[in-house]
Amino acid sequence: MTAPLRQGERTDSTVVSVALGERAYDIVIGRGLLASLGARIKALRPGARVALVSDESVARRHLAAAETALSSAGIAASPIVVPDGELSKSYATFETVCEAIIAARIERGDLVIAFGGGVVGDLAGFAAASVRRGLDYVQVPTTLLAQVDSSVGGKTGINSRHGKNLVGAFHQPVMVIADTALLDTLPQRQFRAGYAEVAKYGLLGDAAFFAWLEKSWRDVFAGGPAREHAIALCCRAKASIVSRDERENGERALLNLGHTFGHALEAACGFSERLLHGEAVALGMVLAFEFSARKGLIATADAERARTHLAAAGLPTYLADIPGGAPGLDDVMDLIAQDKKVKRGKLTFILVRGIGQAFVANDVDASQVRAFLADKLAKQ
């Protein structure tokens, strides 16, 4: 069963509901929604003040418009701007954001707004989960990756020197506002990286959607109805899974297709511009399909089909595509061993039995993974 889609109060918006009982919330998707931010916040939480967390790039392009939308509704906002990039998901920046929220006298009846991509959403959400033992927050995602994935579902956190997203909390937003017009200013590399998460939804559980993407991905990149259709479908798929398995005790783990390999590669590259998160996920999905083929779970043609599509969209699909070359085998294996899905030292991977047929593989033999990666590295 999938999450419901309905028309928003405006004819040009779509609303996807995340059914979590008393903590249920809506994802509103449409073009030009930023102008309605103040009105939506006022209706959601009358009289609330807000801490508006953003990064330098988003602040430069869109912060003034967000502040105008809030002030026009009589909402006092305290902007908090952090540096761009994955390195802001750190203890130091987390402390800075928490202290700024406290200094702004944001109370439990007020709101934090995460106004940015996945880094800002994870960071601001974790700060909201922590300050005063829990503040409500609203996600206003500004990247494709955040709109289709990281803004939905309540996973918040920062990185550790031991790996990606190892410190954090499950803390659901009270609303997600996905203004697709904000993607118009997104650098092409960032958009491509976000597209990896779009393709993920087809590869893990919707073969028909993946086939549609193979034909229509250029239209998604160009914008318009195809882009909004893809975003809404991804949100609907994630909302359905989250409503059934909020804390990733089962089915939700499927959303990590490509992430075990990908997170390790991203961490080994120093969480830097060398390899963006979505690029690492693209590489990770190719490796997951190829590892599945190696284990005899799928035909080699399925793995090649996944790789061909991601490569056509401009994403890295070979370890040799990583600028500066692939990280060392020992480093990657050490990071895989720190993955959040590891249980009592046993490796867990999301593998596939075909396009759209992902499953959770527990107790994967580490020696098989090591031999597989060694072979891939030798061939780069």
Domain boundaries of the chain, sorted by first residue: 5-185, 194-379
Question: Which positions are catalytic?
Answer: 133, 155, 197, 238, 248, 252, 256, 259, 263, 277
Residues 32/37/40/42 CA torsion (nearest 10 deg): -160
What 3-state class would DSSP assign to 266?
Answer: helix
Q: What residue type is 70 in one-letter code? A: L
Give the mean model confidence (pLDDT) for residues 10-26: 89
Task: Judge whether residue 1 has pLDDT over 60.
Answer: no
CB 42: neighbour CB atoms within 10 A? 16
Query: What whole-number distance in Å separates Cα of residue 243 and Cα of residue 154?
Result: 11
Closest CA to 18 of 5, 28, 3: 3
Task: Judge whether residue 7 has pLDDT over 60.
Answer: no
User: Residue 301, by phi and psi: left (phi above 0), alpha (psi -120 to 50) or beta?
Assistant: alpha
Query: What whole-number distance in Å separates Cα of residue 358 and Cα of residue 350?
Result: 6
Q: What percent of the chain has pLDDT over 70?
A: 97
> What count of residues does the chain have?
380
Query: What whole-number distance in Å separates Cα of residue 101 and Cα of residue 124?
Result: 10
Task: Judge whether residue 48 has pLDDT over 50.
Answer: yes
Domain spanning 194-379: which CATH class is it, in words? mainly alpha
Task: Judge whether residue 266 has pLDDT over 80.
Answer: yes
In CATH terms, the fold of domain 5-185 is: Rossmann fold (3.40.50)
Task: Judge whether residue 273 has pLDDT over 50.
Answer: yes
Q: Cα angle vertex 252, ends 87, 322, to 5°?
A: 40
Contact 116, 53 (CB under 8 A): yes
Give the mean model confidence (pLDDT) for residues 233-237: 97
The predicted pLDDT at position 150 comes to 97
Q: Tell me the per-residue pLDDT of 294-337, one tens digit each, with 9 for 90 and over.
A: 999 999 999 999 999 999 999 999 999 999 999 999 999 999 99
Give the mean model confidence (pLDDT) for residues 338-356: 88
Q: Tell me the per-residue pLDDT of 118-167, one tens digit each, with 9 for 90 and over.
A: 999 999 999 999 999 999 999 999 999 999 999 999 999 999 999 999 99
The predicted pLDDT at position 10 comes to 45
